[in-house]
Amino acid sequence: MNYLATDYKHIQLDENQVPVIEGSTMKVVELITSHLAHGWSPEELHFQYPHISLGKIYSALAYYWDHQAALDSDMKQRLEKASPPIAPYPQQGIHWSAYFPAPQTWLRDPKTS
């Protein structure tokens, strides 16, 4: 796979222009999702992903803050694809959200915030 360099040390773009952490297959958006969803600090991210150095984590965080609108949009699209359909369980008549908390609470639309 060919990668393009960026102005951010440790961040490369894959052939689809998706930012990836150098030396790994982890997309920046995946690391940022963990950071936002769990409230993990850079040190906790390193504990959870020991194969990603702290320098690479900080570089990914800097990339995110400089490209927040685009990455938030990407996370929102991924979340919508992964979310279960909004429909009651036919057996119990209970809405799925009673079992799963709304993940959208940590991903706010920057236009409405």
Q: Which two tokens stand for residue 77?
A: 């699209």
Contact 45, 61 (CB under 8 A): no
Q: Which two tokens stand for residue 69?
A: 């609108």
CA distances to 11, 55, 72, 91, 104 from 62, rounded to whole Å, are: 10, 11, 14, 47, 23
Report the distance separating Cα 89 and Cα 18, nearest Å. Answer: 36
pTM value?
Answer: 0.69
Please give the residue that has the higher pLDDT: either 39 or 95: 39
Report the distance separating Cα 77 and Cα 43, nearest Å. Answer: 27
For 51, residues 6+ apart whose C-beta sits below 8 A from its C-beta are 24
Domain boundaries defined on the chain: 4-106
Q: How many residues are present in the chain? A: 113
Report the distance separating Cα 71 and Cα 81, nearest Å. Answer: 15
Q: Residues 52-109: pLDDT tens digits?
A: 999 999 999 999 999 999 999 888 888 878 766 655 555 555 554 555 555 555 555 5
Please give the residue that has the higher pLDDT: either 106 or 36: 36
